[in-house]
Amino acid sequence: KRKRDEEDLDNLIQQVQDINVRESDYDTFARLPLSQPTASGLEASHFKNLTDIQKKGIPHGLKGSDILGAAKTGSGKTLAFLVPVLENLYRKRWTDLDGLGALILSPTRELAIQIFEVLRKIGRYHTFSAGLVIGGKSLQEERERLGRMNILVCTPGRMLQHMDQTAAFESDNLQMLVLDEADRIMDMGFQSTVDAIVEHLPKERQTLLFSATQTKKVSDLARLSLRDPEYVSVHEAA
């Protein structure tokens, strides 16, 4: 059985390498090269067809590219980053022992909770540990759980607080950073907080930045945090 699993994973890795990002053939999740746990989680959550931003973004995300994504509220940006997060850690055979693999920053507690709920739904068949870091509990309580998490969804202020004050907090292994609602993160005055967080993280990583609008502040943040990004945006028909 172990050999079978290894072969399946090698196949999946090959299929992802073979993705042709110029073809937009990937209109259903079933057509994408996805692991069984993600495919099953999406199906159980009744997600079948990709939205436009997902069609444009997910193939690049799976291939490991940085992404600067813009699409209005309600267009499905959450899955556009959560699917690559789950898949890219899975293909790296990420386990509990590997520590923090992905950090997802969201401007508000409410939005962070929403992302976490979607992650729990579509990630239900994965074995990753995932946590919310949004304050509301004592730092000490959060701290104890932090060290065991593979994926964290957090608000910027609280995350930086842990980076500064939690001695055992480790992000040396981090593979992916997601900045969701980057325009709101900037509008809420988190610019220097996010800069400081990014400073703490390994430079070798994949970064996915999503926002509803493209503003000067967002492009400033993109310049600081992304490397050679793919630009994906969905414009409304005029």
Compare residues 70 and 197 and give the one whose CB is closer to ligand ADP. 70
106 binds ligand ADP (CB under 6 A): no
Give the N- to C-terminal CA distance of the chain in Å, as an integer: 54
Cβ(155)–Cβ(106) below 8 Å: yes
Compare residues 80 and 176 and give the one whose CB is closer to ligand ADP. 80
Distance CA 62, CA 92 (A): 12
**Could you tell me the CA-to-CA distances from 135 to 168, 185, 198 in Å, in that order?**
18, 17, 20
201 binds ligand ADP (CB under 6 A): no
Compare residues 54 and 171 and give the one whose CB is closer to ligand ADP. 54
- With contacts defined by CB under 5 A, name the span among 7-15, 29-37, 69-77, 227-235 that binds Mg ion: 69-77
Compare residues 47 and 128 and give the one whose CB is closer to ligand ADP. 47
CB burial class (10 A; 0-12, 13-18, 19+) of residue 128?
buried
Which of Mg ion, ligand ADP, none lies near 50, with the C-beta cut-off 5 to 8 A by kind?
Answer: ligand ADP
- With contacts defined by CB under 6 A, name the span among 7-15, 16-24, 74-82, 88-96 that binds ligand ADP: 74-82
Strand partners, 179: 105, 209
225 binds ligand ADP (CB under 6 A): no
Which of Mg ion, ligand ADP, none lies near 75, with the C-beta cut-off 5 to 8 A by kind?
Answer: ligand ADP
Distance CA 123, CA 135 (A): 23
Compare residues 122 and 146 and give the one whose CB is closer to Mg ion. 122
Strand partners, 154: 105, 133
C-alpha angle 85/89/92, rounded to 5°? 150
What is the total count of residues that contact ligand ADP (CB under 6 A)? 13
Binding mask 34-73 for ligand ADP (x = CB under 6 A): -------------x-xxx--x----------------x-x
| Residue 153 Cβ vs ligand ADP, minimum distance, rounded to whole Å | 13
In SS3 terms, 91-105 reads as HCCCCHHHCCCEEEE
Q: What does the binding site for ligand ADP look like in residue numbers (CB under 6 A)?
A: 47, 49-51, 54, 71, 73-79
